[in-house]
Amino acid sequence: MENLTIANQSNATVTRGSGVSDVLNLHGVFEFECFDKDGNLKWKDIGYNTVSNQGKNGMMDTYLGLSPALASAWYMSLVTAGTATTSSTYATPIVTEITSSIVATRPTVAWSAASAGSKAATTTAFSIIGSATITGNMLVTATSNGSVIANTAGTGGIFFSGAAFSGGSKAVTSGDTLNVTYSLSI
C-alpha cells in the first residue's frame, strides 16, 4: 500500500518601518576672512562648531514652549585659548575670550529666516583694535550685558556654540577686520 501525504505550507514576514529614522543633528560652520587695514585678504579659515548642551537645551525649551522666546540679541566673540565643549556654559565657557583691548565689544549677530532646515547669519565684522593670536570664536546670548567682552554673569546667558580654526591659531593686528559668517543646519 502506498501512502501519499499532501501538506500546504506558507510563510510570511512583514517588516514595518525598516530603515526609516529621523535623526536630529546640529551642524554649524563658521567661515572666517581677515583683511588688513588696506583691505587685503590676510587669511581665511573655517571652523566646525560644537553646540553646547546649554545651547541645545535652550533651543529645545524655547521651541517646545517651556521658556519664552528669546528677546535678547546674539553675539560673537573671539577665543584666544581652549576649545569649546558640550559642557561649555555662559557662566563657565571653558575657553578664554579675547580682551576688550583687542575688540571693543562682542558684535551683534543678525540672522536670516530659516529655510530647508538651515539658518544663516549675515556677515559679522570684528574691528580689531589691538594685536593678538586667536584660536576660534563663540556664539552667545544674554538679556543683560551680552555685548560686554568676558561677561559671564549676564542674565539669561547661553553659550550656544564655539569653534576652533581648522588651520590652527591666527594673528590679528590693529586695523584688521575679521569677517565671520555662520550657518547652522539640522
- Write the CB contacts of 110 (distance below 8 Å, at least 6 apart in sequence): 121, 122, 124
Q: What is the pLDDT of residue 62?
A: 83
pLDDT tens column, 17-55 = 556 566 677 889 999 999 999 999 999 999 998 899 898
pLDDT tens column, 156-186 = 899 999 999 999 999 999 999 999 999 999 8
CA distance readout (Å), 179 to 5, 46, 53: 83, 12, 27
How many CB atoms within 10 Å of residue 172? 24
Q: Is 0.85 surpassed by the pTM of this model?
A: no
pLDDT tens column, 81-114 = 999 999 999 999 999 999 999 999 999 999 999 9
Q: How far apart are CA 186 and CA 115, in angstroms?
A: 11
CA distance readout (Å), 45 to 32, 82, 83, 135, 159: 5, 18, 16, 11, 22
